[in-house]
Structure 1
Amino acid sequence: MAIGDVFAVDGCPDLHYVDTGMYDTEEYGAVYIVDAEEPALVDTGIGTRYENILDALDEVGVARDDLAYVLPTHVHLDHAGGAGYLAEACPNATVLTHEIGVPHLVDPSRLVAGTKAAVESQWQFYAEPKPVPEDRIEGLEDGDEVDLGDHTLDVHHAPGHAPHQVMFHDRTDDVLFTADAAGIWIPSVERIRQTSPPANFDLETCLDDVETVQDIEPETLCFGHFGPRRYEEPLMDGYARVLEEWVAAVREKRAELDDDEAVIDYFVAETGMATVWSERKARAEERLNVRGVLAFLDEQ
């Protein structure tokens, strides 16, 4: 696998994904192409290298004028930062995202400020997002359907990771685009990992979202981070345990050290992901996730 490569999803002839090279890291960020009668992109990456997504459309055989929908699962900029660029390049596409997120893609200024505060030094990898024209974007809510002609996507609100997050379930292929609700799938080591960024992470609601995935029980999970995997019940039971144990570990270390920066430094130093993503990305990811749990504990 390499940044910009396009892959078919096994068992789904109309579904492909591209490695966006997010944070200059392979196998971290995926954008999906649903080659339906009304073609759609699920997620958009961080804006950087958005041309790779357009090249992937060309490779799959979807003309840019024919793209019908751009579907950010939520408006965190690692999933929606390319929406304005793709809307500009694909003039007939409508952007659909949860109604809470719509104003933030029309005017990304608050989203940019919040992202800079959350991702800190990782901002260097982002492109400044382009606003999505107001007449090119519509809001979604739980229970809506996105009609792609020969495919229908059911919209499931999944607010644990962010209040504006949805998952899309493609009934035809029985595929669930999980956003961040099912965690981060790491194919190279075949394990699932927590994602708990500030400022909206909520453990109990995340566990509710895991139950939503289990209720849908799709054949395939398509992770934004990273790639497809066949659904198995133990995988989601395991992710619930990962979340609970992760929050408990941060809570315990905070009680021991009584210094939040020391807590962050501890988990950054203990990261086991440096050989998977690179030391720079692994440390930044650890810092982000610890800060999200500390904020959640403060709310509690």
Structure 2
Amino acid sequence: MAIGDVQAVAGTENVHYVDTGMYDTPQYGSVYIIDGERTAVVDSGTGGDYDALTGALDELGIDELDAVILTHVHLDHAGGAGHLLEDYPGAQAYVHERGARHLIDPERLVAGTKDAVGEQWQYYAEPVPIPEDRLTRLADGDAVDLGDRTLTAHEAPGHAPHQHVFHDAAAGIVYTGDASGIYVPEVDTIRETTPPPQFDLDQARRDASTITDLEPEILAFAHFGPRAYDEEMLQGYKRTLMEWVEAVRRKRAALADDDAVIEHFVAHADETAGAEVWGEEKAEAEMRLNTRGVLAYLRQKEA
């Protein structure tokens, strides 16, 4: 699948996904498009990949959008939301109640993102603030009614406290956001995602259990693409998280310097599946982000 390509989600009705080319990297960022009684997208990309998303909507013949459903407000998921609401005046945004204020006034969100992603900010666009009356706050168990289907929000705060996964029970789909890691289809594996500043290991593992309890048939990964649900793979992701955090903890104990720990793991990024698939630049950026997130988690645990 190449950047800009649109494909149907196998086993579903009127659900597609587009490779947005996030970070100029194929098979890293996907947005889901629901062409039902009420049209919707799940997540919205960085804003820097907005043309790929609107191109997909055009390709599917969708000229009116009803709902922009955001798994969380990190700007690789919510960066395009305000742009969509400008271009589709009938659309309403839906987001976790804890993240809503950051979409109404994104100044702090932008500053935090720039600090977290560093040079990768070049692939983003400045977010457009969302008017409060066009934003619906969701709590755990709230549902988004799309007419012929319902997406129910479930708390998944391990990656970020403003994250939900969305369950379409009738279709058997869970839109995972980042709650079940990063799926790399080329090697059929799930990699960790542990960004600063609010990653929580124990809660992230519970989030994977939350998804298992929903008994889905399809996991719709934001990174990247849909996959048939596999309980063993999701259990493996929980082990991956533990092993990754332990690796950073051990290296931190050995080096006693957080910057040295980060540079150690960045130097070994080319040994990971991410480097093989995404290329050196993105793999190193991913490793830097994930290491910083675990270090922040370890400091918080100590405090």
TM-score by length of 1: 0.98
| Shift in Å, 1:4 | 0.9
Q: Secondary structure at the match of 2:14?
A: strand
Percent of aligned pairs sharing the same letter: 59
Describe the superposition over 1:104-123 as per-residue Cα deviations: whole angstroms up to 9, x where unpaired.
Answer: 00110000001011111111
Where does 1:169-188 land on structure 2 (aligned, <5 Å)?
Answer: 169-188=167-186
Where structure 1 has 5 or more consecutive residues not aligned to the other structure, the ranges are: none
- In the TM superposition, 1:66-215 aligns within 5 A as 67-215=65-213
> Aligned partners of 2:61, 2:127: CA distance in 1, in Å?
26
Q: CA RMSD in A?
A: 0.8
Letter paired with 2:236 = G
**4+ runs of 1 displaced by more than 4 Å?**
none
Contact 2:82 2:130 in 1 (8 A): yes
Could you tell which deviates more after superposition, 129-138 or 287-296? Answer: 129-138
Contact 2:155 2:165 in 1 (8 A): yes
Q: Give 3-state SS (helix, strand or coil) of 1:200's partner.
A: coil
**Alignment correspondent of 2:8:** 8
Residue in 2 that maps onto 1:299: 300
User: Per-residue deviation at 1:209?
Assistant: 0.3
Letter of the structure 2 residue corresponding to residue 58 of structure 1 = D
- Displacement after TM superposition at 1:274 (Å): 2.0
TM-score (norm 2): 0.97
Counterpart residue type for residue 59 of structure 1: E
Q: 1:88 Cα deviation (Å)?
A: 0.6
Separation in structure 2 between the aligned mates of residue 7 and residue 89 of structure 1, nearest angstrom: 23
Distance in 2 (alpha carbons) for counterparts of 1:182 and 1:275: 21
> Does the alignment pair 1:61 with 2:50?
no
What amino acid is the match of 2:277? Answer: V
Report the secondary structure of 1:12's partner residue. coil
Q: 1:236-284, CA deviations, whole angstroms, 9 ceiling, x for partnerless residues?
A: 1100000000000000011111111111111111112322101011001
CA shift for structure 1 position 61: 2.4
Q: CA deviation at 1:51?
A: 2.1
Asked if residue 32 in structure 1 is aligned to residue 11 in structure 2, the reply is: no
Report how far residue 13 of structure 1 moved.
Answer: 2.4
5+ residue gaps, structure 2, are none
CA distance in 2, matches of 1:172, 1:51: 31
Count of aligned pairs: 298
Between the aligned partners of 2:39 and 2:123, the Cα distance in structure 1 is: 28
- Compute the displacement of 1:49 (Å): 2.6
Equivalent-residue separation in structure 2 for 1:261 and 1:200 (angstroms): 19
Paired amino acid for 1:293: V
1:12-43 per-position Cα deviation (integer Å, ceiling 9, x unaligned):
12100001111110000000001110111000
In 2, Cα distance between equivalents of 1:217 and 1:269: 39
